[in-house]
Amino acid sequence: MTPKTAPLPALCRDCMTCFEGAARCPSCGSPRIVAHAELFELGIAHMDCDAFFASVEKRDNPALAGKPVIIGGGRRGVVSTACYVARIRGVRSAMPMFQALKLCPDAVVIAPRMQAYAEASRAIRQMMEDMTPAIEPLSLDEAFLDLRGTQRLHGAPPAVMLARLVRRMKVELGLTGSIGLSHNKFLAKIASDLDKPHGYSVIGKAETATFLHDKPVRMIWGVGAAGQASLEAAGIRSFADLLRWDRRELHARFGTMGERLWHLARGQDTRGVSAHAPMKSISNETTFSEDTGDAALLDGHLWRLSEKVSARAKAKALAGRVVTVKLKRSDHSALSRRLSLRDATQLADVIYRTAKGLFDQVGPNEGPYRLIGVGLSDLIDESGADLSADLLDPDAERRAKTERATDAIRKKFGPEAIVKGRGLRGASGHGPKDGS
């Protein structure tokens, strides 16, 4: 730790005044200050909105103020976001809805309005664009920012720019976010979570090692339950445990992840903040409100999911060579099948036919299912897609043309302008949860 004697560089989060070592802002008297020895030297940040979906809902509907609000879909769905009032009662995201409602029966449950969130996200993105081109969005409500080298441009160090960002978000959009500032992405992401909501945390180079020492490895973004279990099997719970491992041994046991862990244990992370991190896969899935083994209904879902995946690929001018079908049974055990196509595709028709073929291999006998998903991966630019036709399916070309024509009509008259009958099967009733 930095010796307490030296006055620390500090910043007032309300009036942006920079000063040295005081408990309150000498200019406006606010106690909301952030002080750290390396405050004005660090430049990699992670911004995470606070209960984003719920905050947007509360902003748009003042009647919700002070009430527990849960965003999520369907009786069988899961909690997508819970506001802080609901969180106090123990509601967490990804919790099954019935459990959330048991903890918090008076919660206001709202089906997600993705369009509203996307709009708010775009506005925040625009604010970040004003600060740096090096932005890496992780989802609608969080992003990494690399602000190194922008001090002269803005006439203020990154720490100040970040404080301005959250203030702008609050004033212009009525949304709050938490900032993590550090010297790499790994630590910035951890920092943003330390002081939520409306937080501002700094992890400097000097205290990186002591900070991490007794922290659990599950803090690492990307180490989930399975990763945790395999680390635990090797006796690794904390970063201190990890430090005891030899680099080679870690690599031998965990492969490239082991290599990464070795570096992370030392607070090292050299990944750049990139706005153009290539998309690796596109997938959509649906959780049913009731488990189903109904072939026609599942077929309808396969088509709609294929269309969604295809639409996203087309929007991004991408095509993929690998089609994946994912199924989850009633007992949550998962099943997935994949097939490499000879030719990359972005056509819903090809994705659907491939997915259907994969589903038919396992599907009918292993159900009922609670979830079905379709994915497209091994992505390339669309110019390399659908280059050759299928000898045995001379009709495919006509269907491809129909699909392109349908796309053109939808572009002009909206997504509902023209729909395949297949897509209507089992489409009504429950609000499916889509994720990517």
Partner 1 sequence: MKLSIERASLLKAVSQAQSVVERRNTIPILANVLIEAEGNTVNFRATDLDIEVVDKADAMVERAGATTVSAVMLHEIVRKLPDGSMVTLTDDAAAGRLTVEAGRSNFNLATLPKEDFPVMASSEYSSNFSCNAAVLRRLFDKSKFAISTEETRYYLNGVYMHVSDADGGKVLRCVATDGHRLARIDADLPEGAADMPGVIVPRKTVGELRKLLDDDEMKIAVSVSETKVRFATPDITLTSKVIDGTFPDYTRVIPQGNTRKLEVDAKDFANAVDRVATVSSERSRAVKLSLDEDRLVLSVNAPDSGAAEEELAVAYGDERLEIGFNAKYLLEIASQVDRENAVFLFNSAGDPTLMREGNDTSAVYVVMPMRV
* Known binding positions for Mg(2+): 48, 141
Decide: residue 410, CB within 10 A, 0-12 exposed, 13-18 middle, 19+ buried.
middle
Query: Which of 365, 391, 416, 421 forms a contact with partner 1 (CB under 8 A)?
Result: 391
Among 252, 387, 408, 409, binds partner 1 (CB under 8 A): 387
Helix, strand or coil, per DSSP, at residue 287: strand
CB 384, min distance to partner 1, A: 6
Residue 383 Cβ, how far from partner 1 at the closest point, in Å? 9
Does 366 engage in binding with partner 1 (CB under 8 A)?
A: no
Q: How many CA atoms lie within 13 A of 74 on its CB side?
A: 17
Binding residues for partner 1 restricted to 104-143, rule: CB under 8 A: none
* Long-range contact set of residues 57-61: C-beta below 8 Å, sequence gap at least 24: 57/83, 57/110, 57/113, 58/83, 59/173, 59/174, 59/175, 60/116
Three-point CA angle 157, 190, 7, nearest 5°: 45
- Active-site residue flag, 142: yes
Number of residues that bind partner 1 (CB under 8 A): 22
Rounded least distance, CB 345 to partner 1, Å? 13
Interaction with partner 1 in 285-344: which residues (CB under 8 A)? 321, 339, 342-344
Site for partner 1 contains 390 (CB under 8 A): yes
Among 3, 105, 392, 416, binds partner 1 (CB under 8 A): 392
Q: At what angle do helices 52-60 and 114-129 cross, to 10 degrees?
A: 100
Which of 2, 274, 361, 402 touches partner 1 (CB under 8 A)?
361
Task: Give whichever of 166 and 379 is closer to partner 1, judged by the CB atom.
Answer: 379
Q: Which residues make up each annotated binding site?
A: 48, 141
Per the listing, tokens 């404080």 go with: 163
Give me the least distance between CB of 358 and partner 1, in Å please: 6
Provide φ and ψ at 329, rounded to 5°.
-85, 175
Nearer to partner 1, 380 or 419 (CB): 380
CB within 8 A of 144, min separation 6: which ones? 44, 45, 46, 135, 136, 138, 185, 188, 189, 273
Give the residue among 16, 17, 21 at the shortest CA–CA distance from 36.
Answer: 21
Distance CA 196, CA 48 (A): 9
Q: How far is the CB of 320 from partner 1 (least distance, A)?
A: 12
CB of 292 to partner 1, least distance (A): 23
Among 5, 270, 388, 428, binds partner 1 (CB under 8 A): 388
Residue 358 engages partner 1 in binding (rule: CB under 8 A): yes
Residue from 133, 272, 384, 435 touching partner 1 (CB under 8 A): that is 384
CB of 366 to partner 1, least distance (A): 16
Decide whether 247 or 401 has the Cβ nearer to partner 1: 401
Whether the CA torsion 126, 129, 130, 131 is positive or negative: it is: positive
Contact between 145 and 127 under an 8 Å Cβ cutoff? The reply is no
The reply on whether position 347 binds partner 1 by CB under 8 A is no
Q: How many CA atoms lie within 13 A of 174 on its CB side?
A: 12
Q: In what order do the strands lie in the sheet with 18-20?
A: 18-20, 9-12, 33-35
DSSP string covering 310-376 = HHHHHHTTEEEEEEEEEEEETTS-EEEEEEEEEEEE--HHHHHHHHHHHHHHHHHHH--EEEEEEEE
Binding status of residue 365 toward partner 1 by CB under 8 A: no
Q: Which residues contact 435 (CB under 8 A, 6 or more apart)?
A: 284, 285
Of the candidates 142, 285, 307, 403, the residue annotated as catalytic is 142
Catalytic residues: 142
Q: Point out which residues bind partner 1 (CB under 8 A).
A: 321, 339, 342-344, 354, 357-358, 360-361, 380, 384, 386-394, 397
